[in-house]
Structure 1
Amino acid sequence: MSKRSENYLRLIKIAIDTNNLKKFSGSSVLVTGGTGLIGTSIVDIFIYLNEKLNKNIDIFVASRNYEHLVKRFGDVCEKEYFHFVKYDATKKINFNFQVDYIIQGASNANPNLYIKKPVETLMGNIFGLNNILDYALRQKTKRVVYISSSEVYGNKPEGRNKLINEEDFGLVDKLNPRFSYTNGKRAAENLCIDYAYEYGIESVIIRPGHIYSSNISKGDNRAATDFLRCAYEDRTIEMYSSGNQLRSYCHAIDCASAIIFSLINGKNCQAYNVSNKDSVVTIRQFAKEVARIGQVNLICGKVNDSNGMEYSALDSSKLENLGWHAVVNLREGIKEAIADLN
């Protein structure tokens, strides 16, 4: 196994058992964005299935840098079933191997870079997915799962008080480079459907909520990540907003299990929210829980609520009705994230 804590592996086992992921065996899968927040947990689950349950899965992990892969997964990178694939979502691909399934998770997910590199952000989603779908068509891949985002829903009208389902959509400023990520995800989702209807490529779309875990990268500057890092480093958490916005927090292991579950059980051309219904809290409540578990102080600075989505709380009942369930509650998830932070 890769170098992960016993608690992290325990959560993986619970997710596998609860969502019947053991039936995923004897297949091959390509995971792009394999060293990202979600991609890492996806690969970890596949590794666990091989190492602990002998499921004989060929794992192809696409990443820009092999050294990053080794740093993250250690000696597992030398296993016969583990294959490094050099990959850049903004460039053409020429893969010479065939896989049964593809999970397209490669995407810039750093809000700071949305404005600094809006072209790369937009094209990484559209052009990157287009290349993957062309590859899937040539190689007769069984199914592609595209990891989208809750940001596709845009901003909701004031006073909204119900969870967002897959048919809801709000407003997005098309002339603001900040929304290169949002518009790229929206266009990529439509591209999945287009390939399915025109060429018969099976695809499923996953829309995660606010994902967190110990796999956060150093460049990740989202609020939840900053709270966790402060707790890990024994620093005071400082908030610069009211924190009243409601969010769907979901541990990366739960998100990863939902994605793998959808490879087998998701319906073609459907989108599914991924959220833990027991972890729908405000930003302030999340920060308070991080401060309590991490035993650090929480203070509020000058309030600035002018940026970000007003409301982002997802309803995951559509996926739950297929049999998937989140297993990591908020307290347990935050505890893992702080203790095992990379």
Structure 2
Amino acid sequence: MAQILVTGGAGFLGSHLCERLLERGDHVICVDNYFSGRKENIDHLRDHKRFELIRHDIVHPLYVEAEQIYNLACPASPVAYQYNPIKTIKTSTVGMINVLGLARRCRARILHTSTSEVYGDPEVHPQKEDYWGHVNPLGPRSCYDEGKRVAESLCMNYHLAHGIPIRIVRIFNTYGPRMDPNDGRVVSNFIMQALRGESLTVYGHGKQTRSFCYVDDLVEGLIRMMDQNVDLGPINIGNPVENTMLELAEAVLELTGSKSAVKHDPLPKDDPQQRRPDITKAKAILKWEPKVPLKEGLAKTIEYYRRTQFG
């Protein structure tokens, strides 16, 4: 049994991670300020004897004891991180420094969840970890993209200067139960629009691509990355199967049985045209690759929304 801190533990990914760590016998300290996390995501864990919940913003120092730290604290959807861009940047910089300082004091191993957004609108496809990216440092997405790039740099420099045992993963699009239905991400948007009988909003021509990883697969990748002793990262964690937005819309319409139409709106500024991870490192080092096919994961996610939003 390990004492594990999960920052952002009430979020979509964080709540699933907390659940998995408890299932394997760890003691979990969940920290969240509920900026984008939700209490409903962890209500079923609150009475667990090995679960602690602390309401706290990592922009302020945190004093707890932990052997491992998973740093997931940062709004991850465009709607959330653009709502207060300065807050987003502070979480990835000041907050990152505070969490790394805690790791140094506790001599804890820390896994930082970075993002495929560090690649920006990529000129290399698929994206490998040695690609430095194509990011607009002044655009509307820069608060998140550049914040995560700085956070990676902070992790590496704390490792070099103080010997902090770090792990860095770059997460690609992930979906599943407990996604906020109003977070503005394409999977939740399409499902909620289909269930409400509204037109599905496709931006631009709809031929831009993303790669969608089911949350259970993603959490398995995080745990394997934390527990291995071969590579500091970064390592891509995502699904290498590429889908266009129109293909995703068609799958959602089929699985929901919705008769909704598809409408096209202008493409947001700096929206990437292609996004697909090269997971060669994850396969070789972590012995990891996603298992859940898109339609199977979408069906589980649709059932969750039907039960929680319309039940």
What's the TM-score, normalizing by structure 2? 0.90
% identical aligned pairs = 24
1:167 aligns with 2:142: no
Match of 1:52 in 2: none
206, 209, 212: which one aligns with 2:172: 209
41, 51, 60: which one aligns with 1:82: 51
> Superposition pairs for residues 1-342 of structure 1, below 5 Å?
26-49=1-24, 55=25, 57-64=26-33, 71-90=40-59, 92-95=60-63, 97-141=64-108, 143-157=109-123, 162-265=125-228, 267-277=230-240, 279-307=241-269, 308-322=271-285, 323-341=287-305, 342=308
Match of 1:23 in 2: none
Deviations 1:189-230 (A, max 9, x none): 010100111000011111111111121114401222201222
Give distance in 1, aligned partners of 2:138 and 2:33. Answer: 30
Give distance in 2, aligned partners of 1:236 and 1:48. Answer: 40
The CA deviation at 1:105 is: 0.2
Q: CA RMSD in A?
A: 2.0
Question: 8 Å contact 1:110–1:220 — kept in the other structure?
Answer: yes
Match of 1:20 in 2: none
Read off the aligned partner of 2:118 and give its amino acid letter: V
Read off the aligned partner of 2:249 and give its amino acid letter: A
The CA deviation at 1:176 is: 2.4
Deviations 1:61-111 (A, max 9, x none): 11125xx76533335312220011222132x2232x311110000102231
Give distance in 2, aligned partners of 1:244 and 1:321. Answer: 31
What's the TM-score, normalizing by structure 1? 0.82
Question: 8 Å contact 2:199–2:262 — kept in the other structure?
Answer: no
The CA deviation at 1:47 is: 2.9
Give distance in 2, aligned partners of 1:280 and 1:38. Answer: 21
Question: 8 Å contact 1:211–1:250 — kept in the other structure?
Answer: yes
Deviations 1:159-201 (A, max 9, x none): x6x3111111332222224311000000000101001110000
Give distance in 1, aligned partners of 2:84 and 2:43. Answer: 31
SS of the residue 2:30 aligns to: strand
SS of the residue 1:321 aligns to: helix
Read off the aligned partner of 1:147 and give its amino acid letter: T
Give distance in 2, aligned partners of 1:79 and 1:103. Answer: 19
The CA deviation at 1:112 is: 2.8
Unaligned runs of 5+ in 2: none
Deviations 1:270-304 (A, max 9, x none): 10111123x32112111111111111135332452
Aligned residues: 302
- Structure with greater contact order relative to length (CA < 8 Å, sep ≥ 6): 1
Read off the aligned partner of 1:217 and give its amino acid letter: D
Question: 8 Å contact 1:33–1:107 — kept in the other structure?
Answer: yes
CA change 1:132–1:304 in 2 (3 A) is same
Question: 8 Å contact 1:236–1:296 — kept in the other structure?
Answer: no
